[in-house]
Amino acid sequence: MTDAAFRVHREQDNPPRVVLSGDWSLRQTKGHFARLREQLAPLFADPQLRWDLREVERLDSAAGAMLLQGWQYTLGDRVLLRPEQAEQLATLAALPRRDSLEQPPITLRDMLKGAWCYYFDFIRHLVDFVMLVGALVLEIGYLFRKPRQIPWKEISANIYKGGVMALPVTALVGFMIGIAMSYLMALQLRKFGADIFIINILGMSIIREFGPILMAVLVAGRSGSAMTAQIGVMRVTEEIDALAAMGISRVLRLVLPKVVGLVAVAPLLVFWTSCWALLGAMLAAKLQLGISFDFFIEYLPRAVKPVNLTLAMLKALMFGLLIALVACHFGLRIKPNTESLSSSTTASVVVAITVVILVDAVFAILTRSIGL
Amino acid sequence: MSEAANDTMSTSEQPIVCEIHHLWTEFDKLVVHRNLDLTLRKGEVMALVGGSGSGKTTLLRHIIGLTQPSSGQIKLFGYVLGKLNRDQQRQLRNRFGMLFQHGALFSALNVFDNIAFPLRELHQFDEDTIHLLVMHKLALVELEPEHAQLLPAQLSGGMIKRVALARALVLEPELLFLDEPTAGLDPDRSEAFVELIQNLRRQLGLTVLFITHDVATLSALADRVAVLADQHIVANCPIEALGKVDHPFVRNFFHSVKQHLARLN
Ligand SMILES: Nc1ncnc2c1ncn2[C@@H]1O[C@H](COP(=O)(O)OP(=O)(O)OP(=O)(O)O)[C@@H](O)[C@H]1O
Ligand SMILES: [Mg+2]
C-alpha cells in the first residue's frame, strides 16, 4: 500500500476537489498524522471544496475521526465516499462529541461546596479515627475473653520489622545528632567558661526531647509508611475482602498487631536512640572540651533526674501508639487505586509526624514543672 | 518497514508475523517451555490452548518482550525485539496490542483516560479527535459513554476485560495478543467479541493470537489451534484436523469441541 497522500484537483466546470489516496491509517502513518492534519487545515477551512475519498485504499477510525473533525462532524454531499466508507464515517459521526460532555465552568457555589467538602472530609477523618480506636478497644476486650485468638505471630513479626530492623538507622541518626549538638554547644559554652554544663544541657535535651522525637520521626517514616502501604495494597488486591469473607476481623489481624508491636518497641527504641545520641555527645565533648567519659557518666544522673527518663518512656508509648493508629487509619481509607495509595501513604507520614510534635508540645507544657 | 518486502511475496504464502524458535523457559527447577517452536502468519487468527499453568501467559509475555526466555529466539515482524534501539522498539510495540489476563488497567486513571493513554502518548491527535476515537472504541466493545468516567475499581470483571480490549485496539494494531479475552464475559458478549474480531479482520486485516479455554469462541474464531502441552506445541493445525493428533490432552480437548459443535447442530 502507498502512503497517505492528497492533491487538489481544479477542473474547469466542477468546483475544486481534494482527492485523498493511499493508506489512511494509523498503522502506516503513525509518525506523521499531526503533520497531515496541519497540511489539511487550510483546506478544511474552505467550505467550497469537495472531498473525494474514493481512491483511499484503507481508512481506519483514527483517520476517519481526524477528517470528520476537520469537516465539523458533518458530511453533507461535498464528501464523495465509497459505501463502506460512508457507513464507517456515519458511525463515527453518530458518537457523542467532546463538547456534549464538557463540564460547566466553576462558580462560587462550587467553590463553597468544595470548601464544605474539605471540612466534611476532616470531620469524617476524625470520626473514622475514633471508630478505629473504639474497634481496637473492643477487640482487646474480646481477646481478654478469648486469649487463644491473640495474634502472637503477627505481633512478633511487627516487633521485628518495626523494632529490630530499625536499630541501625536510629543508632546512626542518634549518634550523628549527638555529635552535632555537642559540638555546637561546646563552642557556645566555652565562651562563658561553663564547659561542665554541657552535660546538663545535652543530657536533658537528648533524654527528654531529642530521643523520643528522633525515634518518632524515624519510625513514622519507616514503619508508619510501610504499614499504610501494606494495608493499602491489601485493599487494592482485595486481600482485605478475602479476610472479611473468611470471617477474620481486619482490626484484630491487621491493626492490633501493628499497634501492639509498635507500642512495645517504641520505649526500647527511644532508650536505644538516646543512648547513641549521648554517646555521640560524650565523644564530641571529650574531643572539644576534654571532658572524660568517666566524668560524663558519673555526672549525668546528677544533672538529669531519673524522672526525666520516665517521662521519655511515657512519651515513647504515646508516640508509638499514635504513629501506628494514624498509619492504620490512613491505610484502611485507601481506595483501590495507585493514586490513592501514594497520597494516603504521604498523608500518613505527614500527619503522624505533625501529631507527634503537637502532642509533644502539649506534653512539654503539662509537665513543665517535673524533673527540672 | 518489512511491509514493502511482504507485498511482493505470493499471497498464498503470507509473510510471517511472529516466529518462535527453540524456546526454553525455566523458573529455577521448573521447565515451562522445552524447545518450543511456533509460527504465526499474517492474517491468521490462532488460538493457543493448553491446561491451566501450562505456560501460555508466560509464552505471551516472552513474545511481547516483557520477559526473556532462558534460551531461544523470538521474532516479531522479522525483528528481534531486544536487539532494536529504544525508538524502534517503541514503533514495533505500537504495531501490536496486548490484552492482559487480568486487564492491567491503570488503576488511577478512569476508563476514558485508560483508553486514551496510548493515543496521547503518540502526540499526533488533539483532544477532540482523541475523544471521538475513545468513544468509538467504547462503542466497539459495547460500553456506554457514561462508563467513561468510572475508575477501574468501579467496573465489573467483564467490563474490565472490555475496557482492556478497547485499549488494546485503540492504536489500530495489525497484530493482537489476547490473554483469555472472553473469560468473565456472558455468552452474548462473547459472541459480540467474536463478531468484533471478525469485523476488524475484514476491515483492517488483523492477525490475532489468543489464549482461550472457551470452546465456543475458539470454534467460531480460530483458523488454527496451537496446543501447548508437555512444555511444547503438540499440535498446530486447523480445528478439524485436531482429531488426527494422538495426544491425550488434544484428544480430550477435541472431544469437547466436537460436543459443542454437535450441540449447535
Ligand atoms: N515469575 C515466575 N516465577 C516462577 N514461576 C512462574 C512465574 N511465572 C509463571 N510461573 C510458572 O509457570 C507456569 C506457567 O504459568 P502461566 O501463567 O504461563 O500459565 P497459563 O498457561 O497462563 O495458565 P492459566 O491458563 O491458568 O492462565 C506455572 O506453573 C507458574 O507457576
Ligand atoms: Mg494465563
A139, part of any domain: no
State mean pLDDT over A4-9: 81
Ligand nearest to the CA of B213: 1
Pairing between strand A50-59 and A79-80? parallel
What contacts A92, CB < 8 A, 6 or more positions away?
A: A61, A64, A65, A68, B132, B136
Cβ burial of A146 (10 Å; 0-12, 13-18, 19+) is exposed
Please indicate if any CB of chain A lies within 8 Å of the CB of B66: no
Q: How much is the pLDDT for B10?
A: 36
Domain end among A84, A101, A118: A101
Domain end among A101, A134, A167: A101
Q: What is the rounded CA–CA span in Å between residue A321 and residue A140?
A: 14
**Residues A62 and A176 both lie in one domain:** no
Q: How much is the pLDDT for B3?
A: 40
Mark yes or no for CB contact B135/A338 under 8 Å: no
**Residues A159 and A12 both lie in one domain:** no
- Predicted confidence (pLDDT) at residue A25 exceeds the cutoff of 50: yes
Q: Which of A2-6, A321-325, B189-193 has maximum average pLDDT?
A: A321-325
Nearest CA-CA partner of A40 in A60, A59, A68: A68
- Greatest alpha-carbon pair distance for chain A in Å reads 112
Residue A217: which pLDDT band, with cuts at 50, 70 and 90? very high
CATH code, domain carrying A60: 3.30.750.24
A135, part of any domain: no
Q: Where are the domains of chain B?
A: 13-95+175-264, 105-172
CATH class assigned to B13-95+175-264: alpha beta
Q: Calculate how far, in angstroms, residue B56's C-alpha sits from the geometric centre of ligand 2.
A: 6
Asked if B47 and B215 touch (Cβ cutoff 8 Å), the reply is no
Nearest CB to B136 within list A92, A101, A236: A92
Q: How much is the pLDDT for B158?
A: 84
Mark yes or no for CB contact A65/B124 under 8 Å: no
Please indicate if any CB of chain B lies within 8 Å of the CB of A165: no
Nearest CA-CA partner of A323 in A262, A253, A255: A262
**Residues A77 and A177 both lie in one domain:** no
- Greatest alpha-carbon pair distance for chain B in Å reads 56
- Predicted confidence (pLDDT) at residue A14 exceeds the cutoff of 80: no
All three cell numbers of B173: 494494531
Please indicate if any CB of chain B lies within 8 Å of the CB of A335: yes
What contacts B19, CB < 8 A, 6 or more positions away?
A: B38, B39, B40, B74, B75
**Residues A269 and A161 both lie in one domain:** yes
User: What is the domain count for chain A?
Assistant: 2
Q: What is the ipTM of this complex?
A: 0.75
- Predicted confidence (pLDDT) at residue B213 exceeds the cutoff of 70: yes
**Residues A219 and A289 both lie in one domain:** yes
Q: What is the rounded CA–CA span in Å between residue A318 and residue A201?
A: 24
- Predicted confidence (pLDDT) at residue A15 exceeds the cutoff of 80: no
Domain end among A66, A85, A101: A101
Give the distance, in angstroms, between the CA of residue A23 and the centroid of all CA atoms in the same chain: 47
A138, part of any domain: no
- Predicted confidence (pLDDT) at residue A278 exceeds the cutoff of 90: yes
Range of the domain at A293: 151-366
Q: Calculate how far, in angstroms, residue B49's C-alpha sits from the geometric centre of ligand 1.
A: 14
Nearest CB to A62 within list B133, B139, B148: B133
**Angle subtended by helix axes A61-70 and A83-93, to nearest 10:** 70
Helix, strand and coil in chain B, % to nearest 5: 45, 25, 30
* Strand ranges inside chain B, DSSP E: 16-27, 30-41, 45-50, 71-76, 96-99, 175-179, 207-211, 224-229, 232-237
